[in-house]
Chain A
Amino acid sequence: MTQIGQTAQMRLEGVSLSYGAKLVLSDINLDIARGEIVSVVGPSGCGKTTSLRVLAGLVSPSGGRIVYEGTPLSGPRRDIAIVFQDYGKALLPWRTAYQNISLALETMGTDKSERPDRIHALLKLIGLGNHADKFPSQMSGGMQQRLQIARALAQEPSVLLMDEPFGALDAMTRQTLQDELLTLSTKTGATIYFVTHDLEEAVYLSDRVVGLLPNPGRVGRIFDVNLPRPRDQLTTRESPEFLHLRHELYQFVKGAEQ
């Protein structure tokens, strides 16, 4: 999807980050095009989640900068939404599904009269149409993560930052949500920055996979994924190209761990 000459929606320019004396990210350069799905993989401690937090504006880089839509990023923006791995903690347990989505609209000052329609549309989009009045504790993990995605979508984001969103889900639910995410990406056109430790997931979803190396976290290799879309859990995953990429990624991460 990235073509030469296409301007980047988001650009990391020599981004580095240190906590005290420890360098966590070192000189990361990456262009992300509008609507692109970029996955980030690498061994633990390579700064995957940290890179996401920097892109979210939750953490300021110690060096370099992030350019978003042509201007330097100075903090969190409402058109950059985050989906956290730990859905159980990222949702407000005292609010129903409906009210959790409402949180985003309330904060953004969306007109009160507009909220119900938008919330119901989002619940329907994410497959929770019949669960509006359920509390998170009454929902399965998959439903809770769907709800968190719906809350992120309520921000009408141009960029969706996802931190191992499906890592805690069982295999079947994970595959269902992967396909739902791809559908959403087509529908909304949002750029997706997807942190995962699941190499197959990275290949399956992405246009490009960024392989990070640890100590300090830095870009090791960028893998282009030229698999045709729409992707299919069976045929895509069985294609030689997919298996080849999976093989390469596996060797990259294996090598990075040593």
Chain B
Amino acid sequence: MTLARTIGFIASLAVAILFIFLWHLVTLYKLVPPVFLPPPMKTYDALVQGLASGPLLKASLATLQRMLLGWLLACVAGVGIGALVGTSPVLMRYLGPTLEAFRPIPASALIPVLIAIVGLSEGMILSVIAFGALWPMLLATIHGLQSVEPLLYDVAGALRMNMATIISKIGLPSAVPDILAAMRLSLTIALILATVCEMLSGNTGLGQWLLYSARQFSSANLFAGILILGVFGYLTNALMTVAERHLLRWKSPHEANRAGIA
């Protein structure tokens, strides 16, 4: 198992190096004009310089902060609303159709609306991220609560638990695997929406950085920004994996394998 894992790690590293090498070859023989595709070394230089001199670092941190804040808002709202709707048949009946109608609306479609209402502000961006990233968590919470092992309700009944206790001690913990999977999915959505909002609003961030770099035909800066977005995506996902592995350590190895977290 550990040997297989080590080999897998080395192989994945080799693939990444091979990819960069191919990129290098493409730029070396100018298969794509350098104004569109910079060589890896130039991208690296732009990355180091941008981070050291400040603007790229500032933009990166701004994007990271928006992404995480918006995502946290979405987590709280998604799990909160999901817990209410998932445990109340009445709320489900009243709210269900409205939620279903809102769900398919692309979050990006809300950007012009929110710009009109709250302006080109930080609040607009966070609202868009939260709205877009909310759905997976909301649906996962509802689904998780509705698929609680029925026998556990008998256990709760025999202990005379009240509704709040059932939700907090049985319902939500039992929905945690679903919720965690949704949180991981939402992280990606949050990153996409943060970037798009920055492009449209012009607020400092990687989205704006990418757009300006492209307009100035500064492909090295453009790729440096994309690289950071990739790193953000990778790191936040890796953190979620660590969190999942810890929070779901109670699963039997077989189940954990199936869930792809082992």
Contacts and interface: CB of A to CB of B under 8 A. Distances in A.
Asked whether A and B interact, the reply is yes
B14 to A, nearest CB: 36
Given A93-B250, A94-B174, A58 B152 contact: no
Interface residues of A, number: 28
A78 interface: yes
Interface string A112-140: 00000000000000000000000111100
For chain B, what secondary structure do more than half of its interface residues adopt (helix, strand, loop), or is it mixed? helix
A108 B159 CA distance: 8
Contacts of A75: 160
Contact of B169 (A76, A93, A103): A103
A89 B148 CA distance: 10
B158 A93 contact: no
Contacts of B249: 135
A82 interface: yes
A107 B151 contact: no
B161 A107 contact: yes
A246 B158 CA distance: 33
Contacts of B151: 84, 86, 89-90
A163 to B, nearest CB: 10
Contacts of A136: 250
A52 to B, nearest CB: 11
B251 interface: yes
Nearest to A81: B158
Interface in B14-40: none
B173 to A, nearest CB: 5
Nearest to A136: B250
Nearest to B162: A107
A169 interface: no
B155 A137 contact: no
Interface in A89-103: 89-90, 92-96, 103
Nearest to B156: A107
A58 B157 contact: yes
A137 B250 contact: yes
Contact of A82 (B158, B176, B248): B158
B154 A82 contact: yes
B157 A89 contact: no
Nearest to A58: B157
Contacts of A135: 249-250
B252 A137 contact: yes
Interface string A67-90: 000000001111011101010011
A155 B249 CA distance: 28
B45 interface: no
A81 B152 CA distance: 14
A80 to B, nearest CB: 8
Contact of B159 (A84, A96, A103, A137): A103
Contact of A90 (B152, B173, B174, B252): B152
B174 A56 contact: no
A107 B159 contact: yes
A177 B57 CA distance: 65
A118 B251 CA distance: 27
A241 interface: no
Contacts of A104: 159
B170 interface: yes
Given A95-B250, A135-B250, A107 B160 contact: yes
21 contacts: A58-B157, A77-B160, A80-B158, A82-B155, A82-B158, A84-B155, A86-B151, A89-B149, A90-B152, A92-B170, A92-B173, A94-B173, A94-B174, A95-B250, A103-B169, A104-B159, A106-B169, A107-B160, A107-B165, A135-B249, A155-B159
Rank and list the top 10 A-B pairs by shortest CB-CB distance, nearest first. Answer: A137-B252, A135-B250, A107-B159, A89-B151, A94-B250, A82-B158, A89-B149, A76-B158, A94-B173, A76-B157
